Amino acid sequence: MVNKNVNEKTSLGYENKEPSVSFLDSLLLGEWEDRVQRGLFRYDVTACETKVIPGDYGFIAQLNEGRHLKKRPTEFRVDKVLQSFDESKFNFTKVGQEEVLFQFEPSEDDEVQFFPNAPIDIENSPSVVAINVSPIEYGHVLLIPRILECLPQRIDRNSLLLALYMAAEAGNPYFRLGYNSLGAFATINHLHFQAYYLAVPFPIEKAPSRKITTLGGGVEVSEILNYPVRGLVFEGGNSLEDLSNAVSDSCICLQDNNIPYNVLISDSGKRIFVFPQCYAEKQALGEVSPELLDTQVNPAVWEISGHMVLKRKKDYEEASEENAWRLLAEVSLSEDRFQEVKALIFEAIISDSDENECVAESLLEDPDAATQSLKEVDALYKSSQPAMVPGKQECLVLD
């Protein structure tokens, strides 16, 4: 068991804590390697060919034929982001005990502790880290918050904060966590985050962005520029909890409005990317070209971030920046729709935070910047008025 204080108010993750950083890394990889030796994975991911595609962005291509053939099929509707947990479908309470690496829990103090063979507290459902038996990369694991509560795949404040603490505790820039909502290529309706190591920058991490505003708690929100998938970046904040709250409120807004989305937790939990997407809707409407459909690539968080997991040797051999861009452009909301969704998100965030106090403080420091920020938010509100029309949804049924 690894304990981490999830209720901490200080800026954990913004300090360098060498002992805990190296410990979680070595624990996770050591346990993962042990499961490799036990033969628990469906294929050897280290044997998959991988290359960086030439070009400005450095998209990464991987040929992973085994994942396509052996991954569990999706067992639920893709037109609804929020669906009830169904115990008759596959869920993580059905995985073998040997697949679980360790528990990852809040502690009562600011210390990281490890308890070998710690008993599972059934009354206080543990959060666990388990292997992904169909891995994409080295060290591919699942973080499953409060596993015995059988929560459906929907982000809440506590679960996202737990994921950020795991990223901060690992302290490794090559260890990222990702989240896929239902309708955005999550394949299991049981709350979980994915994570793995990849020792190169993701293209999305190198994409430029334009700051939109600073929220209460010092969280900066920016819009991604010059990238095929439109999205938002959240970073900074007075504490990891401030950052987590802003992002989780955004995700809850998307969920409540039936908008599929993906999340990438980067830079040891200090930068978080949120991507509303509509690829499943376009598939259902017949708006995706046969050429792209033939690749059988379902663009989820890793593909959107620039790690293209390809299922056919032909696609791997012909991988190019142009082909990666073409696929990801189909994932993105249109500019108009993205502006509508962005306005919806800002309205939700600001209603759940003390934004007026934040702007008042900013006015004292930089009146021009704070006034401009407030004008931008106000403009977003106005543009959101016609955004949500009854019956209009971004994700339709995909048979």
Q: Is 192 a catalytic residue?
A: yes
Give the strand order in the sheet containing 307-310. Answer: 50-52, 60-63, 307-310
Of 140, 190, 192, 307, catalytic: 192
Pairing of strands 261-266, 175-180: antiparallel
Where do we find the tokens 């935070």?
Answer: 353
- The alpha carbon dihedral of 373, 374, 378, 384 has a sign of positive
List own/partner pairs for 203-209 with CB under 8 A and 24 or more apart.
Answer: 203/57, 203/58, 203/59, 203/60, 203/227, 203/305, 203/306, 204/229, 204/231, 204/264, 204/266, 204/273, 204/304, 204/305, 204/306, 205/266, 205/267, 205/271, 205/305, 206/57, 206/58, 207/57, 209/233
Alpha carbons 98 and 75: distance in angstroms, whole number: 24
How far is the C-alpha of 111 from the C-alpha of 95, rounded, in Å? 30
Residues designated catalytic: 192
